């Protein structure tokens, strides 16, 4: 049975394909369209999934969509009657609902199928059920407590419940307009980060500040001991229609969601071009603190209800890796599973898994690695280099190293020399993080490496940390209380005596958003890290996504282009190696 999961007309649209319950491919549309967080219809992601599965569009038995326009209709109606939201909001939501209802038509047109046949095979899965399914049905757990926290989807911002075997039950929901995701979004906008998905920048800024605004930010949100949460809506306008949302083709945009009252509380909002000062850092620190307090209260209430030590977490807020790393110390949960596409991209996977299990399909899939996208063989890589041969010949030495051990040893020595290496291997990562197949890697021991990469390649905010990829065998040697995480989605403290050993991947508060790499999850990347460890005594690499203010590179041509237009030193693609001439640390 072939099930195609789709997240469409939302941020981070994506597709995933299951064959008899096993994941075959999963990929975000942004990688193809080269527009971050691409919204609209995932045309190319669907085609890619079919290609990887070796299937035709006509082979698809079920289309699983991670939205259900019919969900909570009476609540939506009641809200509209009681609150009379503005026309802009009503129009925006109506257009979006219509797009989702017309998905059968969009799929049929895109895939050359009959619309009636597609409609007959279409399954609409409530957005939060898809979030929860994306985690639980990909986890190793037979039973677990479930929680999804996001901005909104199908009128819900938080859902909690229980998963057992093939069954997933949502027991509690927090409905629009109350939302921890909107709280984080409002303060992210307030701090001068206006783009969709900028919340992680505020999370990176938070450790620089003192949480001196905690009492004030607590006024924005109340979470009861039972996990019920509510916003003080006088600080927000997402519910009254004073904002706009764009989910058409292109980058999603969300208008300002806070009211002038927030500036009365916290002082003037920062404009994007303004410098960051200590007040901004303090607000970021306070927001992170209040978010964590609130999320942990929701999780403790969930645990009290279901009495299960295992937690599956999803939703955009599950990308808050700082909070994720504290769950085991701040709540009774002892095991936590979060798959790498915890945001709305992951709902494509969740919808497909939900439909499979609702149909009685067995639990046979567990996501142990994040490599579910397209791959390119050495011939395709060679062709991409040949296509720009003159340019390459002018600035690079070109070679090929067929032995994997030799390739890893050579690359590790260049990294230890202080060079910055583009590392392009195997299947592209699923989710927001580069996990060693589309990564830029460098020496974590060099204090200046963060600035070097920022100035020469990434051109991003200086306060943002870089992450460590650590050989799983060395996890406890470098981190405190950490658990294996192949998806780089939890932050843990670096051991105090190791912070000076790996300064380029130790954040200002002594933490690191680590990725554990094992021989099983990624043999070649593990071999590279081990080779670097053998050379330096530190089996850790600085790992940042292979891109430059764009979605992570997908093809060898895009990787080559990024290599040539930035000041990267070395590019390793498959067994092909390019080294810019005259480079040394
Ligand atoms: Fe969501």
Q: How far is the CA of 196 from the centre of ligand 1 (A)?
A: 13
- What count of other Cβ atoms lies within 10 Å of the Cβ of residue 330? 16
The pLDDT of residue 81: 82
Q: How far is the CA of 152 from the centre of ligand 1 (A)?
A: 6
Q: How far is the CA of 153 from the centre of ligand 1 (A)?
A: 5
Confidence class of residue 242 from pLDDT cuts 50, 70 and 90?
low
DSSP state of 179: -
Q: How far is the CA of 343 from the centre of ligand 1 (A)?
A: 6
- What count of other Cβ atoms lies within 10 Å of the Cβ of residue 208? 17
- The CA angle 402-391-448, to the nearest 5 degrees, is 75
Instruction: Assess whether pLDDT exceeds 70 at residue 104.
Output: yes
pLDDT digits (tens, 9 = 90+) for 329-341: 999 999 999 999 9
Q: What is the 3-state secondary structure (H, E, C) of 201-254?
A: HHHHHHHHCCCCCHHHHHCCEEECCCCCEEECHHHECCCCCCCCEECCCECCEE
**Paired sense of beta strands 229-231 and 221-223, if any:** antiparallel
Please compute, for residue 212, the number of CA atoms within 13 A of its CA located in the half-sphere on the CB side: 9
Instruction: Assess whether pLDDT exceeds 80 at residue 469.
Output: yes
Tokens of 351: 């919808």
Q: How far is the CA of 559 from the centre of ligand 1 (A)?
A: 30
Confidence class of residue 76 from pLDDT cuts 50, 70 and 90?
confident
pLDDT digits (tens, 9 = 90+) for 29-38: 999 999 999 9
The pLDDT of residue 67: 93
Q: How far is the CA of 69 from the centre of ligand 1 (A)?
A: 14
The pLDDT of residue 71: 87
Q: How far is the CA of 133 from the centre of ligand 1 (A)?
A: 12
Q: How far is the CA of 399 from the centre of ligand 1 (A)?
A: 45
Q: How far is the CA of 525 from the centre of ligand 1 (A)?
A: 31
CB 421 within 8 A of CB 415: yes
Q: How far is the CA of 210 from the centre of ligand 1 (A)?
A: 30
The pLDDT of residue 257: 94
Q: How far is the CA of 9 from the centre of ligand 1 (A)?
A: 12
Q: How far is the CA of 168 from the centre of ligand 1 (A)?
A: 17
pLDDT digits (tens, 9 = 90+) for 11-63: 999 999 999 999 999 999 999 999 999 999 999 999 999 999 999 999 999 99
Q: How far is the CA of 128 from the centre of ligand 1 (A)?
A: 7
pLDDT digits (tens, 9 = 90+) for 264-304: 999 999 999 999 999 999 999 999 999 999 999 999 999 99
**Residues in CB range of 432: below 8 A, 6 or more apart:** 319, 340, 341, 343, 345
**Of 311-320, 383-392, 458-467, 482-491, which gets the smallest average pLDDT?**
458-467
The pLDDT of residue 458: 80
Q: How far is the CA of 165 from the centre of ligand 1 (A)?
A: 23
| Mean per-residue pLDDT over the chain, rounded | 94
Average the pLDDT over 297-322 and give the result: 97
The pLDDT of residue 582: 81
Instruction: Assess whether pLDDT exceeds 90 at residue 98.
Output: no
Q: How far is the CA of 235 from the centre of ligand 1 (A)?
A: 22
Q: How far is the CA of 230 from the centre of ligand 1 (A)?
A: 18
Q: How far is the CA of 317 from the centre of ligand 1 (A)?
A: 9
pLDDT digits (tens, 9 = 90+) for 383-426: 999 999 999 999 999 999 999 999 999 999 999 999 999 999 99
The pLDDT of residue 77: 83
Q: What is the 3-state secondary structure (H, E, C) of 49-116?
A: HHHHHCCCHHHCCEEEECCCCCCCHHHHHHHHHHHCCCHHHHHHHHHHHHHHHCHHHHHHHHHCCCHH
Q: How far is the CA of 342 from the centre of ligand 1 (A)?
A: 9
């Amino acid at each position: 049975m072939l099930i195609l999961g789709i997240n469409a007309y939302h941020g981070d649209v994506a597709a995933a394909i299951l064959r008899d319950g096993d994941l075959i491919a999963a990929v975000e549309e942004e990688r193809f369209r080269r527009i971050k967080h691409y919204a609209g219809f995932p045309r190319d992601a669907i085609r890619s999934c079919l290609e990887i599965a070796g299937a035709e569009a006509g082979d698809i038995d079920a289309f699983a969509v991670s939205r259900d326009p019919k969900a909570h209709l009476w609540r939506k109606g009641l809200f509209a009657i009681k609150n009379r939201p503005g026309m802009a909001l009503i129009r925006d939501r109506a257009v979006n609902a219509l797009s989702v209802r017309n998905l059968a038509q969009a799929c049929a047109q895109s895939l050359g199928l009959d619309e009636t046949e597609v409609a007959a095979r279409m399954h609409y899965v409530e957005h939060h059920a898809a979030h929860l399914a994306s985690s639980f049905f990909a986890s190793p757990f037979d039973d677990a407590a479930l929680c999804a926290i996001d901005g909104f989807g199908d009128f819900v911002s938080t859902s909690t419940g229980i998963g057992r075997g093939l069954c997933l039950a949502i027991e509690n929901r927090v409905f629009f307009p109350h939302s921890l995701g909107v709280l984080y979004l409002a303060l992210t906008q307030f701090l001068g980060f206006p783009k969709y998905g900028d919340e992680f920048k505020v999370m990176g800024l938070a450790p620089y500040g003192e949480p001196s605004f905690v009492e004030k930010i607590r006024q924005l949100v109340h979470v009861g001991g039972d996990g019920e949460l509510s916003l003080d809506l006088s600080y927000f306008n997402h519910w009254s229609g004073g904002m706009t949302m764009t989910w058409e083709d292109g980058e999603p945009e969300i208008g300002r969601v806070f009211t002038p009252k927030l500036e009365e509380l916290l002082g003037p909002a920062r404009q994007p071009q303004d410098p960051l000062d200590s007040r901004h850092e303090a607000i970021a620190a306070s927001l992170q603190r209040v978010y964590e307090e609130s999320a942990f209260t929701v999780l403790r209430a969930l645990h009290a209800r279901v009495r299960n030590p295992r937690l599956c977490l999803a939703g955009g807020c599950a990308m808050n890796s700082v909070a994720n790393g504290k769950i085991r110390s701040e709540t009774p949960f002892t095991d936590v599973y979060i798959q790498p596409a915890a945001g709305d991209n992951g709902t494509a996977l969740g919808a497909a898994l939900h439909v499979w299990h609702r149909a009685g399909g067995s639990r046979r899939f567990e996501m142990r690695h994040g490599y579910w996208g397209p791959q390119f063989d050495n011939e395709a890589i060679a062709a991409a280099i040949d296509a720009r041969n003159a340019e390459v010949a002018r600035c690079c030495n070109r070679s090929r190293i067929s032995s994997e051990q030799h390739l890893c040893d050579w690359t590790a020595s260049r990294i230890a020399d202080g060079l910055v290496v583009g590392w392009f291997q195997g299947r592209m990562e699923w989710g927001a993080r580069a996990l060693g197949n589309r990564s830029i890697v460098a020496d974590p021991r060099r204090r200046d490496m963060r600035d070097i990469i920022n100035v020469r390649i990434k051109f991003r905010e200086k306060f943002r940390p870089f992450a460590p990829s650590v050989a799983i065998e060395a996890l406890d040697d470098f981190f405190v209380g950490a658990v294996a995480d192949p998806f780089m989605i939890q932050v843990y403290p670096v051991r105090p005596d190791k912070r000076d050993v790996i300064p380029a991947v130790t954040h200002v508060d002594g933490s690191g958003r680590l990725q554990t790499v094992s021989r099983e999850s990624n043999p070649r990347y593990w071999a590279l890290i081990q080779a670097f460890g053998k050379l330096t005594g530190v089996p850790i690499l600085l790992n940042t996504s292979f891109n430059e203010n764009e979605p992570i590179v997908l093809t060898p041509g895009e990787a080559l282009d990024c290599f040539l237009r930035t000041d990267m030193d070395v590019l390793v693609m498959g067994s092909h190696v390019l080294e810019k001439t005259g480079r040394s640390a």
